[in-house]
A = this chain, B = another copy of it.
Amino acid sequence: MDVQIPVEEEIIDLAEFLKTFGDPTRLRILFLLRNGELGVQAIGDALGLHQTTVSHQLKLLRHLRLLRYRKEGRGVFYALNDSHIEQILEIGMQHIQEQI
């Protein structure tokens, strides 16, 4: 009994979701946010990135639901959206550390 390959649309969505983990800047943002929510400026300062670079990446990360956000005053605070995100980071780290 064969395991099914997801249908085209699911494959596309899954690729789009997982692709998001494939960039060093976005990974740094995700790892940083494991310590809790942060504003855009704070993320840029912590990682040495331009504000626009951060905003563009945050837009992607929230559209693909890796992050959620909360507006307060004139600030916007971003946080990891669910446990899937940390799970993938964790498994990925395990994989790259298993060099022979």
Q: Give chain A's interface residues, CB within 8 Å of chain B.
A: 2-3, 5-6, 10-24, 27-28, 31-32, 34-35, 65, 82, 84, 87-89, 91-96, 98
Contacts and interface: CB of A to CB of B under 8 A. Distances in A.
Contact of A93 (B6, B16, B89, B96): B6
Contacts of A21: 15, 18-19, 21-22
Interface of A is mostly: helix
A23 B19 CA distance: 7
Q: Which 8 pairs of residues, A with B, have the shortest CB-CB distance?
A: A19-B22, A18-B21, A5-B31, A84-B95, A13-B96, A15-B24, A3-B34, A22-B22
Given A18-B21, A22-B18, A87-B91, A27 B2 contact: no
